[in-house]
Structure 1
Amino acid sequence: MNVVFDLGMVLIEWDPRHLYRKVFDDPAKMEWFLSEVCHGNWNLEQDRGRSWPDAIAEAVARHPAHAHEIALYRERWMEMVPGAIEGSVAILDELHARGAPLYAITNWNGETFRETRARFSFLDRFRDIVVSGDEGLIKPDRAIFDLLCTRNGLDPAQCLFIDDSLKNVKGAEAAGWQACHFTTPEMLRRELESRRLL
């Protein structure tokens, strides 16, 4: 079985609040900023391949009074990534030690992914990582799942996808994959044990 991981919030913690708690004194204002200015759909366009200068310009055009805070999203992006989810990394290492074929598909901007990859040596465990921002494709689009299989000669039915987003899990299943909705490392361990992968 090919085991295919999502990265953000499965193996690597990411949350813009880690940065913006330092920027905004008022939690309610921070939440407004992250829901109305640099919101999830705005960030997803960077994951799809939009350049950071274009992204910043678009957000500043909508909210010029927050130009400084918007610019920080890129300038201090790494502060959104406090570290690895160690329980999941331990599982990855066990799978690797057992010789499991390991792959990853991530919705991640190509530029910031390369910066992040330099921090986490466990990402070298993967035979291939499909990065949405480099491909112009994002989960849950079927094309990104098909790309991994085509590029690596994999049978979709022999791929198990692990993602914290239920929408992406459903996307993998629609592409003919097996899938697991990640909630905690402990839950993932139980799931992999039940499949005799651990």
Structure 2
Amino acid sequence: MKPTHMVFDIGGVLVHWDPVAAFAEACGGREAAMGFMERVGFRDKNARADAGESFADLADEIEDTRDREIFAQYLDAYPLTVQRKIKGSWTLLDAMKENGTPVHAITNWSAETWPRGLTAQPRLGKVFDTLIVSGEERMAKPDPAIFALFCNRAGVAPEACFFVDDSIKNVEAARSMGMQAAQFISPKVLRLDLIDRGLL
């Protein structure tokens, strides 16, 4: 079955996400910021925020006072992390929109950082027919439930969807729910996938 609906991940597919940029000034440079992020377990904390936890609660877990203060600045600095579009992906998205293909998104993104991200990339809040923001739903990829939620909200069968994500775990979860899916490698590779599936 050829898919008739396109479903994007956002971070790493449509926009570059650079969390180091949020901490570089406070830490005195990117290398020091990366050390800080490792020290406080940023990746794990961010994943928990994507699934609905608050950054204030996550900051409270950090024992060192200065580290806690730096972490607490993340929300205000967040727009710095999503400054750069992946332009080739947007070209493909726009081509599908022009062809009348429904274009959706399922993103792992905190409910607190999402509106701040929109200040840097406002089009993300307007372009999708159906948008699932994990933090708002208190569930995140690769939980199969978020794909079921999307299909229910969009009113579309999983088999009718082609999903692209930079995480292979998320791709495999989408496939387990019946979606056609591929890992994002580059806009050039995605273009070939879309042509192969009749979406371009």
Give the TM-score of the pair, scaled to structure 2: 0.90
Q: Distance in 2 between matches of 1:152 and 1:127?
A: 8
Q: State the shift of 1:38 in Å.
A: 4.5
State whether residues 18 and 82 of structure 1, in contact with CA within 8 Å, keep that contact through their aligned partners in structure 2: no
State whether residues 162 and 179 of structure 1, in contact with CA within 8 Å, keep that contact through their aligned partners in structure 2: yes
Task: Describe the SS at the equivalent of 2:6.
Answer: strand
Q: Distance in 2 between matches of 1:44 and 1:178?
A: 25
Counterpart for residue 51 of structure 1:
54
Counterpart for residue 78 of structure 1:
79
State whether residues 49 and 109 of structure 1, in contact with CA within 8 Å, keep that contact through their aligned partners in structure 2: yes
Q: Distance in 2 between matches of 1:99 and 1:122?
A: 18
Task: Describe the SS at the equivalent of 2:85.
Answer: coil
Q: State the shift of 1:123 in Å.
A: 4.2
Task: Describe the SS at the equivalent of 2:17.
Answer: coil
Counterpart for residue 190 of structure 1:
192
Matched, 1:171 2:145: no
Identity of aligned residues (%): 36
Post-superposition Cα deviations, 1:38-59, rounded to whole Å, max 9, x if no partner, equal 5211111111111222122223
Q: Distance in 2 between matches of 1:115 and 1:26?
A: 23
Task: Describe the SS at the equivalent of 1:173.
Answer: helix
Counterpart for residue 137 of structure 2:
135
Amino acid at match of 1:125: V
Match of 2:161 among 148, 155, 159: 159
Give the TM-score of the pair, scaled to structure 1: 0.91
Counterpart for residue 181 of structure 1:
183
Q: Distance in 2 between matches of 1:196 and 1:69?
A: 47
After the TM superposition, list the runs of 4 or more consecutive aligned residues in structure 1 that deviate by more than 6 angstroms.
Answer: none
Matched, 1:95 2:96: yes
Q: 1:1-12 to 2 correspondence within 5 Å? A: 1-12=4-15
* CA RMSD in angstroms, aligned pairs only: 1.7
Q: Distance in 2 between matches of 1:121 and 1:43?
A: 23
Amino acid at match of 2:136: D
Please, which runs of 5 or more residues in structure 2 have no aligned partner? none
Post-superposition Cα deviations, 1:101-134, rounded to whole Å, max 9, x if no partner, equal 1111000011221232353325422111011101
State whether residues 156 and 177 of structure 1, in contact with CA within 8 Å, keep that contact through their aligned partners in structure 2: yes
